[in-house]
């Protein structure tokens, strides 16, 4: 499995922490930047990560900005991407079970690294429930 990562300046430290965590889990990562505190535009990074997932270059994607909000909005503009903004383990679990989220967004200024790793693990280790949720996911993908 390959996971694409991207962040703006508000999320790059959390993105780097997620990268190390994924490597510890022996998961291959593609880091699409950014890699410094210099101000950049989150739409560019959300789009780049989402396009990596939509094109199949990566299986899943994780994006980080200050709140996770802007970069999740950007990612969700790319067809085929279902990016869930997660601020709790419950949201991470549900966004896989119900939305089959192929990306999650995290907030570098709103979520501690410790909680972020729990969120990442919950999302990765939870299965999509299918059933009635499949029809709704299909509706999302048809938009």
Of 97, 96, 62, 102, the C-alpha closest to 82 is: 102
> Please, what sign has the CA dihedral across residues 115, 58, 6, 95?
negative
Site string for ligand RB5, 69-108 (x = CB under 6 A): xx--------------------------------------
Residue 61 binds ligand RB5, judged by CB under 6 A: no
Q: Which of 64, 65, 83, 86 is catalytic?
A: 65
Alpha-carbon distances, residue 62 vs 12, 131, 135, 136, 139 (angstroms): 11, 25, 24, 22, 23
> Binding residue for ligand RB5 (CB under 6 A) from 12, 66, 94, 122?
66
> Binding residue for ligand RB5 (CB under 6 A) from 3, 6, 8, 85?
8
């Amino acid at each position: 499995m390959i996971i694409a990562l991207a962040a703006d300046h508000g999320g790059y430290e959390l993105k780097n922490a997620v990268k190390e965590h994924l490597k510890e889990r022996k998961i291959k990562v593609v880091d699409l930047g950014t890699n410094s505190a210099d101000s950049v535009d989150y739409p560019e990074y959300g789009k780049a990560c989402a396009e990596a997932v939509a094109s199949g270059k990566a299986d899943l994607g994780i994006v980080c900005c200050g709140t996770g909000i802007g970069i999740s909005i950007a990612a969700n503009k790319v067809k085929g991407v279902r990016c869930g903004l997660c601020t709790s383990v419950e949201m991470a679990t549900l966004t896989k079970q119900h939305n089959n989220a192929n990306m999650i967004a995290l907030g570098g200024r709103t979520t501690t690294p410790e909680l972020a790793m729990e969120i990442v693990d919950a999302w990765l280790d939870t299965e999509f429930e299918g059933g009635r949720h499949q029809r709704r996911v299909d509706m999302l993908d048809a938009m």
